[in-house]
Chain A
């Protein structure tokens, strides 16, 4: 666990934590040098506080885990990917409005 309530995932544990999770998982692919990633981080945390019982909120640092983003064809960050039953349900790219991120997260419910 990284920041409280947010699950830190990496190339090593991605499969066990995300693909085999019992609940839907929303993964934020980010990097420390990425401005827009920093900008949306508070929104991600707010949504975790609101929907944390139903959805697992996870973060993957693409700098430290280069293989996972490649596997999912990620070419821009921030990218949020929603996983359900081990499969990609949807994804959203960039610092999009909070309402849009919330709508996106609710697709898992």
Chain B
């Protein structure tokens, strides 16, 4: 299924990604969609303001219908998180959480938005002095040290594995892990110590982080805590490719009216490009991104 080159790869299967996929299929281009429907902002929503649905509809049902619709048109769905992105020889290369790789001519980013902050005591105070939000950036500063990483999903687990190559002890604190079996097995055969059914209550230290207090009453001594909630998002999967962000917040990807980013062949749509966070905007942008990505890929395939 992963073999070959796709015209369009879409990261995210919320309304933006689904609509993009539908329009890519309409252009008879080959498309693969990554992501977990239950992680979409829409999954738990009850929607009353989306055009043409007079009665309240469940977000979950909308997502399921969109997926079936796209699948019937030929879209391939891979319900796993993307953990790495690269551009090589004008192609996009993606690695997913079971370590499979995919290549495409164009890429559409529709990862939505997720909470990145823990909102616990000590978090803000110790940013840069033990609190970090980017394993890929900061793991090397923790050579031989003891570190804690918190999160339930692929960002935390891949982050813990990366940290285990640098740090002395790595403690992964999670409520319950929601990752692919392959990634879970990798974690279990690593040196990472998993602490389940727990969360971070407080981060303690003097001039820098010294301890992490957990909700289960235990305290972990450590020099650092990495906060990696959810899956990897825009900063982790797009900034490394050179994608421009809005400089007011550095939270959103900048696009023009064609949903193009500053990187050729790379598009973004939906919540990830900024407010309003609404289905109508997500599908509108997804449609434009899908059409343009398909067209761009077709031009490349002919040249």
Q: Which residues of A contact B (CB under 8 A)?
A: 31, 33-40, 42-43, 62-63, 69, 73-77, 79, 91, 93-99
Contacts and interface: CB of A to CB of B under 8 A. Distances in A.
A42 B247 CA distance: 9
Given A42-B244, A94-B133, A97-B249, 11 more contacts: A35-B238, A38-B242, A39-B245, A42-B247, A75-B142, A75-B208, A75-B224, A76-B131, A94-B127, A95-B235, A97-B247
9 A-B pairs closest in CB distance: A35-B239, A93-B128, A98-B247, A95-B250, A34-B137, A35-B240, A39-B239, A75-B141, A76-B128
A35 B134 contact: yes
Contact of A36 (B128, B129, B142, B239): B239
A62 B138 CA distance: 10
Interface of B: 127-134, 136-138, 140-142, 208, 224, 235-236, 238-240, 242, 244-245, 247-250
Contact of B137 (A31, A97, A99): A31
Contacts of B244: 39, 42
Given A73-B129, A76-B141, A79-B128, A34 B247 contact: no
Nearest to B248: A97
A56 to B, nearest CB: 22
Nearest to A37: B137
A38 to B, nearest CB: 5
Given A75-B128, A93-B128, A36 B134 contact: yes
Given A74-B128, A95-B250, A33 B141 contact: no
B250 A36 contact: yes
Contact of A33 (B137, B238, B242): B137
Contacts of A63: 140
Contacts of B132: 75-76
A69 B142 CA distance: 13
15 contacts: A33-B137, A33-B240, A39-B235, A39-B250, A63-B140, A73-B129, A76-B128, A76-B131, A76-B141, A94-B128, A95-B235, A95-B239, A95-B245, A96-B250, A97-B250
Contacts of A77: 137-138
Contacts of A36: 134, 137, 235, 239, 250
Nearest to A79: B128
Contacts of B127: 76, 93-94
A51 B190 CA distance: 49
B130 A38 contact: no
